Structure 1
Amino acid sequence: MSASRQALRIAGRLVLPTGFLVLVATTWAVEVRPVANNAPSAPAATAPRPPLPPQLNGNPAFASSSACRDCHQGEFESWHRTFHRTMTQAASPENFVGRFDGSTIDSGGLKYQVFRRGDDFWARLPDPDVMLDRQRRYDHFARLGQATGPPDWSGIPEVERQVVMSTGSHRYQTYWVESARFSGTLMTLPLVWLIQDERWIPREAAFVHPPDGSRMVTVWNDHCIKCHSTGGAPRPFVNHDAAGQVAETGFQTQVGEIGIACEACHGSAEEHVALRRREAAGEAGLTELLAADPIVQPAELVDHRRSAEVCGQCHGVFIWSQQQGEQYRDGGGNFRPGEELLTKREYLFPPQEASFYANEQEQAEALAGYQRNQGFFRSRFWDNGTVLAGGREFTALAVTGCYREGTLSCVSCHSMHQSDPSGQLKAGMDGVQACIQCHDEPQYTTDLTQHTHHAAESTGSNCLNCHMPHTTYALFSAIRSHQIARPDLAGSVQHGVPNACNLCHLDQTLAWTQRHLVDWYGYEPLPMTTEQAQIAASLVWMLKGNAAQRVITAWHTGWAPAQAASGDDWLAPFVSRLLEDPYGVVRYVAEHALRKQPGFADWKFNFLAPPAELAAAGSEVRHAWSQGQTAAPSRTGKNVLINGNGQVVDAAVEWLLKHRDNRPVSINE
């Protein structure tokens, strides 16, 4: 069996997490091997490296982007504009966008004050070491089914910690402080600065996270380092005293560079830099060495899979085997761009169609693995197996026919250097042009309307809207699925996964969608419930669906193509119901979608207000919408729960809300 095939079936063979090394905060207290205390040797490159927080050490195998700049100024500048570069940054007034102005932020009854001392950034906060300990204990008992109520956050002493590093710079930025208990350990300052809104919020309010009172307490060294740095190695250690007792534990973490820098995609460059400097100095006899220069250009790799895997090292769902995890823990990752990624770690996929597997046994093992680890998969995938969590685009692409049977790779549409930093799309790759690179037959070009049944220039004839709908979630936004496929009616009918048709035609039912898919494309009709046949799918997902369905649909109510196709003057009273949602992220997305509805552009709302204020805000929106109607809205009827007089059928709305799917939902962005 090939290594690739073996990696694809890994979910069927192993139980998570006990079958694998899981790098969490408890690692150093359970099973760690000490690593050398010696400081890393200085690199050969003379260019000054980008600054690191004092808690992190340089990785001598990596030259850093500063060395690349000496010869590749243009590429350096185009990369320097990207959000990849600013993903992780050392503390400085230039890098931090949050206002450390003495403000005090309430986070579920816990108080956090952020302030500056000169050019240094500080926080006064509940002791993060105590917070981490209590959350870990709660998580342990929760896994055993023995947790009673939310964690106890009372009586935690207040401490001051210097803020030394940030993550993010696009939609929000979060921050890191050093542990006082574990040497070299960077822990969450559990606040997020919203860049557009210019406000602080609790970290839990920035993620789809069950509102159960638990906290998102994270250790950077063993979690974020994997993808938010270049050349990272956690390197936990334990030091003992003369009596053999544990005297000190923590991390001696190494990174080539914080942020996603040149060597993340092109490979570690210390050897390359030294070789090219020898060449520039006029040294002879370097022909063979230059021919074997290890630097990789992802767009020039002959095998499209190797190219996509460069991105897949971060943009995928994976775990390490015990051996792989130990190697990464102590020495960093063993993958170099250009190598076969699926031989270096284990990529996980939910059960797929039969053709995905070598035989029935593999398919059965995959299903068994999925059933054993449903919590893991549900935080990353929809129940029909499509990717839910943003940032996992390689996992989605890897099961797509365009990749498996064609030559589609990430660089077919994206570029790090010739693109807008927001999305990294090449020019023209936000529409039909992306697909007709390969699919150049007449039905996709000159006779497009025969295939799409929509006007040629309409958003309904944009291939991406039908085959890559916005059904993944991250960063307060719905994102295009990279699992390129036909509109999935069965996924909607059987699993409640929003489909492309009904996310654009918000006023239509699943039965309406089925009629068109049967007539136009020969779909097999599926049995439906009365609800699916008679009520617009968007309303069912928003009012009765789980948190993932609600947040995805809420975003689409503010999406211009959906408003153009469905009308935008009838949605506000239904979106208003999400202003009282138990999930802060759903409320936030609904708030911003509501501002795109007629009459609500300047509407003010605090999505973190107490429940009574949230309820009052929802009622205010419904009242304002009702009073603002000078004529019946553009959509009425049983399907949109608005009667002929233009009044919302409140009894039907309340029934859907009463039967809402309140399962706990986490989306592991």
Structure 2
Amino acid sequence: MTQSLSSSALGLLLLPVCLAGGIVVVTVAGADAGATGAKMERVQWPSPPLPAQNAAAGYVTSAACRECHRDEHASWHRSYHRTMTQPATPSSVLGRFDGSTVSSAGADYRVFREGDQLFAEMPDPDLVMYILQGGHTLPLEKVPRVKRPVVMSTGSHHYQTYWVTSARHPGLLQTLPLVYVPETGQWIPREAAFMRAPADRDRMVTQWNHHCIRCHSTGGNPGLNDKGELISKVGELGIACEACHGPGRRHVELERARELDPALAAPARDIHFIINPRKLEPVRSTEVCGQCHGNYVLKEEHALEFARNGPLYHPGEDLHRTRYYIQYPGEDATPEQKFELQRNAEFFASRWWDDGTILAGGREFTALQATPCHTRGTMSCLSCHSMHDSEPDDQLKHARDDPSACTQCHGEERFTSRLTDHTRHAAQSSGSNCLNCHMPHTTYALFKAIRSHQIQSPQIRSSVRHGVPNACNLCHLDKSLDWTQQHLADWHGQSRHSLTAEQQKLPASILWLLKGHAAQRVITAWHLGWEPAKAVSGTNWLAPFAAQLLTDDYGPVRYVATR
């Protein structure tokens, strides 16, 4: 580790915006009118206060791609990547702006509409930012209430959150600390949607311009200038074509020129021309996804460069040139790494289990970097996922949520024709699905458990030493850790560990539900509704235990338990 995590704010680039004298001073520039070639289709760009379109950096938007790549554009257009960030309009907003009032962190927020315009009545967000981020103590109930336009949304799948304008500083987008959950049709306070400790929830104040802009837009440039102003621009709102293929201006200009003169020779292509991740070797291909799906900090010599000029990574390049990707310090960690773990305990605890496997969703690249299938093999994100040949939910290639995901590489007889000798489960059962044992749902995000992308074999050690739920007990909810230990020892020769009386006699799921920490509770609660676990363990005995979670201190635990 070459730099202190704390010096880079634990992977969240905190721009040197100045709180002195009140609030950040921010301005917004008009849309850049850089030339993009003859007959370049112009997109009607949302007007300020949304970020201007960053045409000067070579971005041409997905509209230009659509002219030649209609099928690919159509498959992307129905994805949740596209709708990750959108202007807040009646057609894009899922939340009911019907006059509802929701309380968040002790303050009331009322959402309503006037014609096609969306608004929130709320404590002045500029002053709230000043109070909470500046370490001041003015009670929120004493902050003047204001009416602010709601101009942008984030998310459209599991939930959607919103951004309001700053009256003092045009262009600065502030959190509306409410979340709308489409599945239930309910508004909930933002702090109830995230796995944050109760004492940490009043700090959930975010400005889109220096945080979310990095991954929830394409080509996001915070635009920090010498005056401390943020003149933010994006290649495109949402995660669009050029996020994965690179800025398209040179490619578009060449192809349009060749339409006029078919004899025109193509220039020598380089990595900055346009790339197709599918044609990259596995490491570089996976890094295209890893630009957002990983735990990283910018290297110190590049942090300010990003704040001023935006993206430093071009798809196809070495992702590690400007970034340091963080891994959990394991048992063989250096003294420096162990010191970072102690100094930044909260950072690591919110993203990893104590054994070093990924806990927080959205960090799949970090997990793959600790997976031999990727580091010593040819596995990449595209082994299982596709942006253009998949359903929007999870974007899995067809038939890639079954053993074929693994047997495309592991074709040996013991994994195919003699599968039951390996799994000790019936061939067509959930216990013979490689993914359920080697990629259990032990990662959490967005009100659900997600398959771990840190591929490994089932083992009892992490459950005993670190409290990590294991694949066996997440399916066999009615069995104890002792039962699992006996089978893993008998079947695979794993070492035995000393267990408490409760671990020997009681179902592990009940111990995690009633005595576990929040991550154990939410993961186990999700598995109470997982169909394979219900089929194996039955359901007529779980209700009294699940009911204990309905008053849990953590909103996500309560929500998952009700499902």
Give the AA of the match of 2:4: V
8 Å CA contact 1:53–1:165 kept in 2: the answer is no
Structure 2 residue aligned with 1:48: 42
> What residue number does 1:604 align with?
none
CA contact (8 A) 1:33 1:238 kept: no
- Tell me how far apart the structure 1 counterparts of residues 303 and 15 of structure 2 sit (CA, whole Å): 15
In the alignment, is the contact (CA less than 8 A) between 1:35 and 1:236 conserved in 2?
no
Query: SS in structure 1 opposite 2:93?
Result: coil
Contact 2:133-2:203 within 8 A present in 1 as well: no
Distance 1:342 1:431 in 2: 32
- What's the secondary structure of 2:188's corresponding residue? strand
Q: How does 1:30-429 map to 2 (within 5 A)?
A: 40-44=32-36, 46-49=40-43, 51-52=45-46, 54-55=48-49, 56-60=51-55, 61-138=58-135, 152-212=139-199, 214-237=202-225, 239=227, 250-282=229-261, 284-289=263-268, 294-301=273-280, 303-352=281-330, 354=332, 363-429=334-400
| Residues 35, 237 of structure 1: 8 Å contact kept | no
In 2, Cα distance between equivalents of 1:530 and 1:53 = 64
3-state secondary structure, aligned to 2:111: strand
| 4+ residue segments displaced more than 4 Å | 19-22, 32-39, 289-293
Q: Which moved further from structure 2: 421-430 or 95-104? A: 95-104
For 1:14 and 1:556, how far apart are their aligned partners in 2?
Answer: 39
Per mean C-alpha deviation after superposition, the further-off stretch among 119-128 and 74-83 is 119-128
Structure 1, gaps ≥5 residues long: 1-9, 142-149, 240-248, 355-361, 593-669
CA contact (8 A) 2:373 2:379 kept: yes
CA distance in 2, matches of 1:472, 1:541: 15
Is the 1:88–1:168 contact (alpha carbons within 8 Å) kept by the matching residues of 2?
yes
Structure 1 range deviating more: 366-375 or 72-81: 366-375
Question: Could you tell me which amino acid in structure 2 is paired with residue 192 of structure 1?
Answer: V
The amino acid across from 2:3 in the alignment is L
Task: Quote the offset at 1:369 in angstroms.
Answer: 2.4
CA-CA distance at 1:105 after TM superposition: 2.0
Cα distance per residue 1:27-55 (max 9 Å; x no partner): 3448x999996862334162232633512
Does the aligned pair in 2 maintain the 1:43–1:270 contact within 8 Å? no
Partners of 1:533 and 1:38 in 2: how far apart? Answer: 66
Contact persistence 1:79–1:417 (CA under 8 A): yes
Distance apart, 1:113 and its partner CA: 1.3
Any idea what SS the aligned residue of 1:159 has? strand
* Aligned residue number for residue 611 of structure 1: none
What's the TM-score once normalised by structure 1's chain length?
0.79
- Partner SS state of residue 115, structure 1: strand
Q: Tell me the distance in 2 between the aligned counterparts of 1:573 and 1:22.
A: 41
Letter in 2 for 1:224: C
CA contact (8 A) 2:439 2:454 kept: yes
State whether residues 459 and 494 of structure 2, in contact with CA within 8 Å, keep that contact through their aligned partners in structure 1.
Answer: no
Question: How has the CA–CA distance of structure 1 residues 417 and 19 changed in structure 2, closer, same or farther, with 3 Å as cutoff?
Answer: closer
Cα pair distance change 1:43/1:391, threshold 3 Å: farther
Instruction: Give the 5 Å matches for 1:234-633.
Output: 234-237=222-225, 239=227, 250-282=229-261, 284-289=263-268, 294-301=273-280, 303-352=281-330, 354=332, 363-592=334-563
Check the 8 A contact 2:415/2:422 in 1, yes or no: yes
Q: Counterpart of 1:665?
A: none
Identity %: 51
Q: Distance in 2 between matches of 1:118 and 1:126?
A: 23
Distance 1:369 1:108 in 2: 31
User: Is the contact between residue 28 and residue 170 of structure 2 (CA under 8 Å) also seen in structure 1?
Assistant: no
Greater shift, 291-300 or 160-169, is seen at 291-300
**1:50–1:520 CA distance, 2 compared to 1 (3 A):** farther
Shift in CA distance, 292/188, structure 1 to aligned 2, threshold 3 Å? closer
The residue aligned with 1:606 is: none
Q: CA deviation at 1:392?
A: 0.4
In structure 2, the residue corresponding to 1:574 is in which secondary structure? Answer: helix
Cα 1:296/1:33, change in 2 over 3 Å: farther
Residue aligned with 1:287, SS:
coil
Instruction: Give secondary structure in 1 for the equivalent of 2:110.
Output: strand
Quickly say closer, same or farther: Cα 1:37–1:108, change in 2 above 3 A.
closer
| Cα deviations by residue, 1:564-584 (Å, 9 ceiling, x for unpaired) | 111111000000000111111
**Equivalent pair of 1:62/1:256 in contact (CA under 8 Å):** yes
Contact preservation (8 Å) 2:225, 2:308: no
CA distance in structure 1 between the aligned counterparts of 2:287 and 2:113, rounded to whole angstroms: 42
Q: Residue type of the partner of 1:222? A: H
Q: Is the contact made by 2:513 and 2:524 (CA closer than 8 Å) also made in structure 1?
A: yes
- CA separation of 1:176/1:35 partners in 2, compared to 1, >3 Å: closer, same or farther? closer
Distance in 2, matches of 1:84 and 1:167, equals: 10
Cα–Cα, structure 1 residues 34 and 555, in superposed 2: closer, same or farther, change >3 Å? Answer: closer
Q: Distance in 1 between matches of 2:305 and 2:3?
A: 19
Give the SS at the match of 2:59: coil
What secondary structure sits across from 1:288 in the alignment? coil
Q: 1:488 to 1:48 in 2, by over 3 A?
A: farther
Relative to the length of structure 2, the TM-score reads: 0.94
What is the CA-CA distance between 1:129 and the residue it aligns to? 1.0
One-letter identity of the residue aligned with 1:199: Q
Name the SS of the counterpart of 1:274 in structure 2.
Answer: helix
- Tell me the distance in 2 between the aligned counterparts of 1:353 and 1:339: 32
Which one has a bigger Cα radius of gyration? 1
Q: Aligned AA for 1:229?
A: S
Supply the RMSD in Å over aligned alpha carbons: 2.2
- In the alignment, the residues of structure 2 paired with residue 29 and residue 109 of structure 1 have an alpha-carbon distance, to the nearest angstrom, of 24
Describe the superposition over 1:591-624 as per-residue Cα deviations: whole angstroms up to 9, x where unpaired.
Answer: 11xxxxxxxxxxxxxxxxxxxxxxxxxxxxxxxx
Structure 2, unmatched stretches of 5+, are: none
When residues 208 and 387 of structure 1 are mapped into structure 2, their CA distance, relative to the original with a 3 A threshold, is same
